[in-house]
Structure 1
Amino acid sequence: MDTVLLYTLGVVLFALGVAVSIGLHEVGHLAPAKKFGVKVTQYFVGFGRTIFSVRRGETEYGLKAIPLGGYVKLVGMFPPHPGEDPTRVRKSNTGLFTQMVSDARSFEYEQVEAKDQDRLFYKLPWWKKLIVMSGGPLVNLGIAFTLFGGVFMLHGVAVPTQTISVVSECVVPANAPARECTADDPPTPAADAGLLPGDRIVGFNGATVESWDDLTTLIRANTDGEARIEFVRDGERQTATTNTTVNTVLDLDDPEAVVQAGFLGVSPTTELERQGPVFVVQQMGTYTWETVKALGQLPIRLYDVGKTVLGLQERDPNSPMSVVGAGRVAGEISSDHTTPAVDRMISLIMLLAGVNLFLGMFNFVPLLPLDGGHIAGALYEGVRRGWARLWGRPDPGYVDVAKLLPLAYAMAMVLVVMSVLLIYADIVAPVRLG
């Protein structure tokens, strides 16, 4: 198939996957809200101008022009000002921030009728608010778990074997730029021993080797000592003797760090091996923790992206991307003729799973306007009311998250700037495969 057509197909499939993920995220809010009796007036995927909408009962469902998010309009997110009739919220205040909050309350109650007073979101028990606001990001995490789990259990994971795929010609530190061997580079112990691609290593210094991990551990611990290697070539068991050397290699516990350890100079072949549920849970735990760490480093990484946009440095291939950048990666994956079609499809699924994992965790950040801000408010309300009951004090009432709206508006501006920066960077200095 034509490269351009494949590229376009990859972008379209990825965009559809993201749109479906956004739609399901909003269903995660919509379904429990309706279950708990909250009045829901709108369910939209996208922002901006409405392309299509249809009304079913009291709720309008539709699509908007800018497919960068979605929303569900839950009536009564903010309680009225203390002492005021919720149907007659005051509309004039002194002070910019006070006016912002007052205007937001007024907008909340424009669609509230007398019969809706028991269907306002803020009147829900704190644990129901928690379920409604957690539903969206939990759906994203569920999508990620399902996609990753499907790949791991049905397709399999590439597992290194004891069979050699590549014998390095010379010793080059793992953190050195990729280059050709020179006359000044010493040969690797594996090349010196005469090992060849296709050899299957079964023993090292008298120890039986049953996996690539076994061999890696033995080689690294051997530093620059003598190495007696047993291997099978063309069905015949053979032995070679050499000395491993100390080299700069990647840390097994932290792939971004390097250590000094024994080095042989061989790379393994890999085989697909289907995994079980335990592996899926462990891997999802690892991915989730890595995502949390990435979120913690997001300000620094965005600063680096800004330097890239200004031409001060090259784009880090591990830097954050917008959905535009992820779409470009999807197109490159689809149009890579050197990779089998099945592997390309698996890579697209993994990319979409990663996007859902990030979106889910990002929405748990406890700041408005993200879902995490409302989740934090619900948890605080539960703790505050529980503490009052424990000490026999009067009920402190609902938590008024509207008071945090000035911070929410500031955070919204930060998100807009972040999105614009990443989209621009993905256009002028995109992350590319390889």
Structure 2
Amino acid sequence: MLAYIIGVVLFALGICISVALHEAGHMVTAKAFGMKVRRYFIGFGPTIFSFKRGETEYGLKWIPLGGFCDIAGMTALDEVTPDEAPRAMWRFKTWKRTVVMSAGSITHFILGFIVLYLMAITFGLPNLAANNVDYSKLAPVVAGTSCAHAATTLQQVNDDSCPPGSLRPADAGGLKAGDKVLSVAGQPATSWTGLQQQIKAAGGPTKFVVERGGRQLTLTIDVPRLARLGTDNQVTTIGMIGIIPQGPPGMLHYNGLDAVPATFVFTGDLFAETGERLLQFPQRVPGIVDAIFGGDRDPNGPVSVVGASRIGGEAVEQGLWQIFFFLLASLNFFIGVFNLLPLLPLDGGHIAVVWYERVRDWLRGLRGKAAGGPVDYTKLSAITMVLVVIGGGITLLTVTADIVNPIRLQ
């Protein structure tokens, strides 16, 4: 239990540091361009302490959930003093404002890359190809044996443990790691997919011909018929013996030099996966609601900071530090990409407004007209409030689900 608590605290601390550095990214770039940064605080709520260095006040607040960087004149509606007006952010060139507003997300990307690089030279990077294996082209070679048990819910399907009543038919029948299955009940096995279909159709004592150490052996395995949830969410009865395919390695290890390009490639793959998750997010929301009221929790569904911290705690408790750091890197990438969505009040929304002004003024210039004024954010307030309410509602749902029906490491 102590290891679990330490893991939760460490993961939450890692997220807090990431968010603090996100705001530091805004601050550093704003100062570099000459903008006026009034305050940089970590946390929210009452102030614990603060100090002023130069023109900026730095401090720490009691609620360690994020932080903020107060840049003078982020929009033309922000009030600025006469001495701040020349350095108001909205007066600066479009590309400079874009750099400052995207610096937070860029900081998350840099942090994620650093974590992945350190993983590459220590624990190794997950082999994403191992998660996208074409089993129809995979040879029917056994990497090991496992439990065969009935599974009529998604949670049971994803349970790799040996619950009460589970069997190990492959073990009992003498099948071993490294065996290549040549035939089942007299029918040739040419691929892992074919082997699975043959086993599903089998039942009772069944002849398996395998190749082991250059020799052919005939084994008799008593194949049980067990209830199982199919891909169509229908429960059927199939034959199972409990075997694991010999696929690509789960982790790939690199030296300090090779880890650099490998991490770049892996980061690109992770970006693509993050984009897919964002596109799939709306269709996964009903699953969150269902999980709150007792339904099966999708292990690949959205999680909140609370849920991610709990998984991080379980990873530490089980000594799976590679999962802890991979989850931390993935969360940094997700926050970075999400924050760039062109929606207010996210940084991406502000960037979209800035570039709208730039394109609009360019088009006006082509028609011989003067540049238009800054966008009136008050006209966008209704849309902003709707998005804030929707975002708050989804956050509340995921936090609730992570408390009453959390995703757990198997």
TM-score normalised by the chain length of structure 1: 0.70
> What is the distance in 1 between the residues matched to 2:310 and 2:142?
35
How many Å apart are 1:182 and its aligned residue? 8.8
Task: Choose which of 342, 367, 370 in structure 2 pairs with 1:366.
Answer: 342
Equivalent position of 1:334 in the other structure: 316
For residues 21-36 of structure 1, the aligned pairs below 5 Å read 21-36=18-33
Structure 2 segments unaligned to the other structure (5+ residues): 131-138, 184-188, 200-206, 234-239
Q: Is 1:238 matched up with 2:215?
A: yes
Q: Is 1:135 matched up with 2:103?
A: yes
The 1:332/1:312 distance shift into structure 2, 3 A limit, reads closer
Structure 1 segments unaligned to the other structure (5+ residues): 80-104, 206-215, 257-262
Q: C-alpha offsets along residues 247-294 of structure 1, whole Å, 9 cap, x if unaligned? A: xx9xxxx9x9xxxxxx99642575753144444334323322232232
> What is the distance in 2 between the residues matched to 1:229 and 1:335?
39
Aligned-partner SS, 1:297? helix
Equivalent position of 1:267 in the other structure: 244
Task: Choose which of 117, 123, 139 in structure 2 pairs with 1:155.
Answer: 123
Amino acid at match of 1:413: V
The 1:273/1:293 distance shift into structure 2, 3 A limit, reads closer
For residues 242-391 of structure 1, the aligned pairs below 5 Å read 266-267=243-244, 272-275=251-254, 276-309=259-292, 311=293, 313-336=295-318, 341=319, 344-390=320-366
The 1:334/1:171 distance shift into structure 2, 3 A limit, reads closer
For residues 15-54 of structure 1, the aligned pairs below 5 Å read 15-54=12-51
The 1:74/1:428 distance shift into structure 2, 3 A limit, reads same
The question of whether the paired residues in 2 share the 8 Å contact of 1:47 and 1:66 is answered with yes
How many Å apart are 1:129 and its aligned residue? 1.2
Task: Choose which of 60, 71, 74 in structure 2 pairs with 1:74.
Answer: 71
The question of whether the paired residues in 2 share the 8 Å contact of 1:164 and 1:266 is answered with yes
Equivalent position of 1:409 in the other structure: 385
Q: Is 1:65 matched up with 2:62?
A: yes
Equivalent position of 1:425 in the other structure: 401
For residues 156-171 of structure 1, the aligned pairs below 5 Å read 156-157=124-125, 164-166=143-145
Aligned-partner SS, 2:63? strand
Name the Cα RMSD after superposition: 4.2
> What is the distance in 2 between the residues matched to 1:392 and 1:305?
53
Q: C-alpha offsets along residues 349-394 of structure 1, whole Å, 9 cap, x if unaligned? A: 1121122111111101111111110111122223223334455543
For residues 48-127 of structure 1, the aligned pairs below 5 Å read 48-79=45-76, 105=77, 108-109=78-79, 111-113=80-82, 115-127=83-95
Aligned-partner SS, 1:155? coil
How many Å apart are 1:228 and its aligned residue? 7.4
Aligned-partner SS, 2:84? helix
Q: C-alpha offsets along residues 56-106 of structure 1, whole Å, 9 cap, x if unaligned? A: 112111222222222111111222xxxxxxxxxxxxxxxxxxxxxxxxx3x
The 1:196/1:72 distance shift into structure 2, 3 A limit, reads same
Indicate the percent of aligned positions where both proteins have the same amino acid: 34
How many Å apart are 1:163 and its aligned residue? 7.1
The 1:75/1:425 distance shift into structure 2, 3 A limit, reads same
> What is the distance in 2 between the residues matched to 1:430 and 1:387?
51
